[in-house]
Amino acid sequence: MELMAPKVILRRGDRTNPLIWALAILCAGFAVAVILTGIVVFAIYLVYQPKSPYVWVSAAHLDLLDYDQMGLLSIQLSLTLVAVNPNMRAHATFSELGLALRFEDGDIELALLRAEDFSVQKNGSAALNYVVRSEAVPLDEIGRETLDVSLKAGIISFRLEGQLRTRWRVGVFASLKLLTHLSCALRFEVLNGNAVGFRCISNSH
């Protein structure tokens, strides 16, 4: 029995549609562009090594504490905030700074710290010195009890919290903007007003 060799039949319909070739070329070009963009971004990161600017409280002192029998509290604090720009190749701008000083962890706001927009040089820092004075603020029953306990213990606490915006440039075109939050407790000795071991530094999100 003689075996027949298979015949290969070419049909016009088996050819790849030019549109498919065009789409394949377009997808390949897009993939190459994404890869090149990633390489450029990585190279810029290696050159500039961007780091988030931040603020921290470098010094604090309780200058005055006045509390009368009517439950009225007034204070005066000396605070030094330091704005830090850790970037070696870019200036940083700090704006919309607003920090509230509260008694303990409650809602009683004693003062509000603000600052005009300012810039910090490359790999530099700038100090903001505040003398924070509050008006006589009436404490509720819980606040008076808390303050009595603090006075007996010889340590009084306040809370400093708020936010600011930072902006700095990476490369020629890229500009990074971040919202920076600060929230920390400031504790002082009642007798001499000295600050008791605190760490107060902002975090960016």
pLDDT digits (tens, 9 = 90+) for 87-97: 988 889 999 99
Instruction: Say what the pLDDT of residue 172 is.
Output: 54
- The per-residue pLDDT for range 4-16, each reduced to its tens digit, is 555 544 455 556 6
Beta strand ranges found along the chain (DSSP E):
54-67, 72-85, 92-103, 109-115, 118-120, 124-133, 137-138, 155-170, 174-189, 203-204
Gap between the Cα atoms of 166 and 58, Å rounded: 19
Residue 50 has pLDDT above 70, yes or no: no
Instruction: Say what the pLDDT of residue 106 is.
Output: 73
- The per-residue pLDDT for range 125-145, each reduced to its tens digit, is 999 999 999 989 998 888 899
Provide, rounded to the nearest whole percent, the portion of the chain with pLDDT above 70. Answer: 75
pTM above 0.85, yes or no: no
Instruction: Say what the pLDDT of residue 37 is.
Output: 53
Gap between the Cα atoms of 170 and 89, Å rounded: 8
- The per-residue pLDDT for range 144-176, each reduced to its tens digit, is 999 999 999 999 999 999 999 999 876 555 678
Mean pLDDT of the chain: 82
Q: Pick the more confident residue, 120 or 12.
A: 120
Residue 78 has pLDDT above 80, yes or no: yes
Q: Pick the more confident residue, 35 or 7.
A: 35
Gap between the Cα atoms of 87 and 104, Å rounded: 35
Q: Pick the more confident residue, 33 or 155.
A: 155
